[in-house]
Homo-oligomer: A and B are copies of this chain.
Amino acid sequence: MSSVNLKRLAQELNLSISAVSKALRDSHEIAVDTKERVRALARELRYEPNPHASSLRRQKSKTIGVVIPEVANSFFSLVINGIEEVARHNGYHVLIYLTHEDHTREAAIAQYLANGRVDGILMSVASESADFAHLQELKNKNIPIVFFDRVCEEMATVRVTTNDFESGYKATQHLLEAGCRRIAYLLISEHLSIGQKRMQGYQQALEDHAIPFDANLIVSGHQSNEHNRMLIQQLLETQKVDGIFASVERLAISSYEACKALNLSIPGDVKIIGFSNLEIASLLDPPLTAIKQPAYAMGREAACILFTALDKNRALTASQSLVLNSELIERKSTARN
């Protein structure tokens, strides 16, 4: 650590440390030419303020924590892009934490973020998070936190979500209008609000079309894609199913795989629609009819809300919540059958 710090600059310039500090922060109480001299040397020596010292002193880190279930997934990848973009623009740094859908991990992460390491948190809760004491804890410590997509229903906090009920309704309606009568609904975890809301939309659509709800057509997936594919195959074999609505991307893909494995033709025997942001899904044959969430925008919006709160030292209130619209994307098949 040959570290060039304020002391070093001060020595070389025959100035006091605080004068140098002020000069670099462009304080009005420092002579213009002095500022120039200071800045010149700082540039020459490539001075960079020590962020830890600065954070310690100012009680803020200019860093946020992003807590998400996973990243190997187009939705969260895009979200990170949005967040990083805004963070960079506002001079914030981004720490990333993956829960792998594990409630214990999420709690542990929350625990050690509650010590000043970050000024705020952006979070999409893990699917198993039924117990949210750890989140309440963060709230108590006054750490601003913005939930996005997978929110914690039990807490009154800022949320950036999409119109889950509505898009669930539309997706189901889409299948119904395409002639489906036995539509399966696939979700990832019963504890997740998005799964619930989308399902409510699904149920409402069924009801509006006078189709009876059948609990046998609801499948709750798990971690392993392999396992999920099995579950879906089992469903297709034991139940009469002519449509599948997958409430997350992975399940939509597993549905495709399951149909393929069973030699079911996809638009013919079973129609599939799923939440997905995968560009490549449009190249499938038939292309995956998808509900596409504005992932990048969600990341940006969530980050913006957090940063303005942080920079203006304003508290976050649930009223700042935002609901963005997901889009139903249907593409024509180029099937040559």
Q: Which residues of A approach B to under 8 Å, CB–CB? A: 1-3, 46, 48-53, 55-56, 59, 61, 63, 70-74, 77-78, 80-81, 84-85, 88, 93-98, 111-112, 114-117, 137, 141-142, 225, 253, 256-257, 260, 278-281, 283-285, 334, 336-337
Contacts and interface: CB of A to CB of B under 8 A. Distances in A.
A84 B97 contact: yes
Nearest to A278: B280
Given A253-B279, A336-B337, A116 B51 contact: yes
A46 B334 CA distance: 59
A292 to B, nearest CB: 14
Nearest to A249: B280
Given A257-B283, A283-B253, A73 B81 contact: no
A283 B286 CA distance: 11
Given A50-B56, A53-B56, A63-B95, 11 more contacts: A1-B116, A3-B116, A48-B115, A50-B115, A51-B116, A52-B56, A93-B117, A94-B95, A95-B96, A260-B334, A284-B285
B77 A72 contact: yes
B52 A116 contact: yes
Nearest to A336: B337
Given A48-B111, A96-B94, A114-B48, A71 B81 contact: yes
Contacts of A115: 3, 48-51
Contacts of A88: 97
Contacts of A336: 337
Which of A71, A78, A84: most chain B Cβ within 10 A? Answer: A71
B93 A93 contact: no
Nearest to A83: B96
